[in-house]
Structure 1
């Protein structure tokens, strides 16, 4: 079954799945019929607020039933969703909110003790207030080629760029994702991946509503809470980073995990032994790994029948309708229907990212084996991943250079047993400055995953003949 827009798919879920549970968030339990009605009411609230077709609204809040209603209600009003990373500080979020042209922003005040304030002139609405329930039911649908969301991703220039995706792209991609990940009608899907990211929002909420699975949102990943929910709610679908599966293995035998059936994970380097243990020591019947990026969604995925080694050391083969090849310099290139429409208000960056033949430069380095399986070998643009969050050195360096005691700085990712990678800052000082002071200062200026965990002071940074810092030497 196909739909022209995401909002039509969401509302049609009421007809397809009726009184089955759509969302379970603490004491709140919504059927698909009830969710559809709340989405229509929220659409009316946006219309009363002044949202017209094509207008943008930002959502800066953690995983919750309210986030789901806010997002799909906006789409049902004809609006465009701009999700904001909940770990961002006010200045980081404010820049994105302003440049997206959002008419307003829905926030969750006090989440993680942060200051969720909108920039001057942009109304902030408490997502837990009566706003979403204040409208007259409304449906205002557009076309499949309309932009449905703008998700901001930082680049090596340090300036976040808004990735524009359409309804049709999203629906086709995540309908296939349901098959690849073995998501089934009636599944109970615990979503620990944040909704502001495509994994949580599209491979989570959108996929669940396509297939008829129950969404169980988790605002903050805490192992004991996840285990409690798995036991109490009989969770069947549990995607997440490798650290999640380590925690499940540690709890096996002490907690009832028998309901778990489908696992989905992804990382540049997963131990083969971890995949073997997940399959042999936990009740999962299927394990999928894949490779994706905001600019193209899920590009490759493993398939049923892949070996433990395939799943652990490669990210599978291209999804239907997509092509993957390796450029002469080793960069992974992707082409096909799911490649973004472009970066918001940035034709130069769009042209740099997508060549005239439609190939998207991913910035990742990789290899294709004789069977067409892709292996990611590095990151051309020096990005590193901290506990599942993408961290971009140039952006972090820009913040650190605002400190009066920092004359020069270079940031690299270094291995970390718990988080996979963390940042290390190499700093040329201007006057007195301690590592502890700089780290503490950083925590007030940027999201926690961006803050360098260690600082090394140098008299000068190593540079090549053109003046570029040689980060390979620092690593």
Structure 2
């Protein structure tokens, strides 16, 4: 039977109309009822306390989540899982110095580098593996700092990230507190380190991620009883006859984190392997099943070595056998880095996301087609839908999405991020966003906002599955658990992600970590009717080992 031209045209037209209806349907991504109660709330509560809130997956009476699998107990186990899952797959992507081309390395190759640097490190320093010896990492987020950190996990050393590369005072105080005997340093931070060596007498070996080290720099190091070695040479030499791993225990210290942006040193937070594995598990558990990380995912993160979120985000990607991008570190290259590497997961700070929003809005915001497309996508967002398949995604917003590489499916950030920026990412770019709240003392995570909660409410989401949260009354009566319409008080957190304590500060530890294992955050909060947490501010200062200071409060980074 012959089909005339009119029939063909009508069939195509019907198909197009049907497709447009499907693409532009306004059915929400999640049933609204599922957002009305996002936490599990204990039926009983203590005197002058709110009810304990948990993730819905771990109600009262059940055990908080510690690890993704029974056999995964340390960060060394996390690496081994990724290696076994994707041995020949892409693991690292990083830019060569002074070039705009990216190098890629497989899990098998990176594993050899980790063992090589670890072996070379032990040979050059004569430090004994498995002794929890602190080692500094005075370098930005890079392939060298990643290799070093993984090597320390493999051989039982403790990573001490120092993320402020401008303050000699912080460097000196951290080095002297921990009595570190070795440090990995970026080339740009080497001059400041050398200037500080006279006050850092414990440092004897410096591993520099650099192509060139001058004779003058070597002379200065020698003058202060230290040696300078090239990171790459130590790694290369160690690849011959690598040492067997000295597997850490879950209770072993993995990191001492002095996370501060001021000129005064904050307390060193002691985090174990178990703490950081629990934080990674809590985050991945908050991802919907279809959105979990896989070996096909690629993470581009702007969180530094000093941000614990960077550790568990990277660990989550490694566990899945996915790949990690190390960006150039320059704000002007943020979009270029993403376009060149096409990540699927984009983890970044609020300020960087807001600058991306500002730059894209300046470029595209005045166009009439963009305005129409954005307005239509905002309407879909208000109806509870984030999509990249609407008609407007094809004719008005495709180029906007491509500025992050075109493949980003999830943005992970912290609070506070401006609502306008979150709307822009979800509507104009069609990308889901998860915002998290945490403290360094809780391994960087306490709550996570539901990926499908697109409301403008200021809440921080519900507790993740590795910890529980409650509020306690203010002794002066400012906030109480009986407040209406919602209970208020100081935020307390308990779970396997909560720190071991503050480094060599038992008094400060006792102030912040009570006998029942609850960490007192020093921040006021409120539980909303749907079980989510909102931060209201910070407590008054309390006494610690060094006198009077804020109880570990910092601008939310983790």
TM-score normalised by structure 1 residue count? 0.74
Deviation sequence 1:56-115 (CA, Å, 0-9, x none): 211110111011001111111111111112334122111111111222111113249855
Q: Does residue 120 of the first structure (1) align with residue 201 of the second (2)?
A: yes
Is the contact between residue 145 and residue 167 of structure 1 (CA under 8 Å) also seen in structure 2?
A: yes
C-alpha distance in structure 2 between counterparts of 1:90 and 1:114, whole Å? 6
Counterpart of 2:307 in structure 1 is: 197
Instruction: Give 1:4 deviation, angstroms.
Output: 3.0
Counterpart of 2:140 in structure 1 is: 62
C-alpha distance in structure 1 between counterparts of 2:73 and 2:203, whole Å? 31
5+ long unaligned stretches in structure 2:
1-68, 96-101, 211-229, 365-398, 475-488, 543-547
Alignment of 1:198-217 (within 5 A): 198-203=308-313, 205-217=314-326
Q: Does residue 38 of the first structure (1) align with residue 148 of the second (2)?
A: no
Counterpart of 2:177 in structure 1 is: 99
Task: Identify which of 440, 447, 452 aligns with 1:294.
Answer: 440
Counterpart of 2:508 in structure 1 is: 349
Deviation sequence 1:5-56 (CA, Å, 0-9, x none): 2123213422211121111011432111111111111221222122221212
Instruction: Give 1:377 deviation, angstroms.
Output: 1.6
Deviation sequence 1:212-236 (CA, Å, 0-9, x none): 22111125241x4121122121111
Counterpart of 2:418 in structure 1 is: 271
Deviation sequence 1:403-454 (CA, Å, 0-9, x none): xxxxxxxxxx9xxxxxx99xxxxxxxxxxxxxxxxxxxxxxxxxxxxxxxxx
User: Residues 99 and 115 (structure 1 numbering): CA distance in 2 closer, same or farther, change over 3 Å?
Assistant: closer
Give the 3-state SS of the residue equivalent to 1:160 in structure 2: coil
Task: Identify which of 248, 268, 272 aligns with 1:162.
Answer: 268
Counterpart of 1:51 in structure 2 is: 127
TM-score normalised by structure 2 residue count? 0.64
C-alpha distance in structure 2 between counterparts of 1:24 and 1:323, whole Å? 36
User: Residues 248 and 191 (structure 1 numbering): CA distance in 2 closer, same or farther, change over 3 Å?
Assistant: same
Counterpart of 2:236 in structure 1 is: 133
Counterpart of 2:531 in structure 1 is: 372
Counterpart of 2:496 in structure 1 is: 337
C-alpha distance in structure 1 between counterparts of 2:250 and 2:89, whole Å? 27
C-alpha distance in structure 2 between counterparts of 1:142 and 1:199, whole Å? 21
Counterpart of 1:90 in structure 2 is: 168
Task: Identify which of 9, 26, 29 aligns with 2:104.
Answer: 29
Q: Does residue 239 of the first structure (1) align with residue 239 of the second (2)?
A: no
Give the 3-state SS of the residue equivalent to 1:29 in structure 2: strand
User: Residues 216 and 113 (structure 1 numbering): CA distance in 2 closer, same or farther, change over 3 Å?
Assistant: farther
C-alpha distance in structure 2 between counterparts of 1:172 and 1:395, whole Å? 29
Larger Rg over CA atoms: 2
Instruction: Give 1:283 deviation, angstroms.
Output: 2.9
Q: Which has the higher helix share?
A: 2
Q: How many residues matched?
A: 385
Is the contact between residue 286 and residue 465 of structure 2 (CA under 8 Å) also seen in structure 1?
A: no
Instruction: Give 1:275 deviation, angstroms.
Output: 2.0
Task: Identify which of 291, 307, 315 aligns with 2:460.
Answer: 315
RMSD over aligned Cα atoms: 2.9
C-alpha distance in structure 2 between counterparts of 1:360 and 1:155, whole Å? 22
Counterpart of 1:303 in structure 2 is: 450
Q: Which runs of 4+ in 1 moved over 4 A?
A: 111-118, 154-159
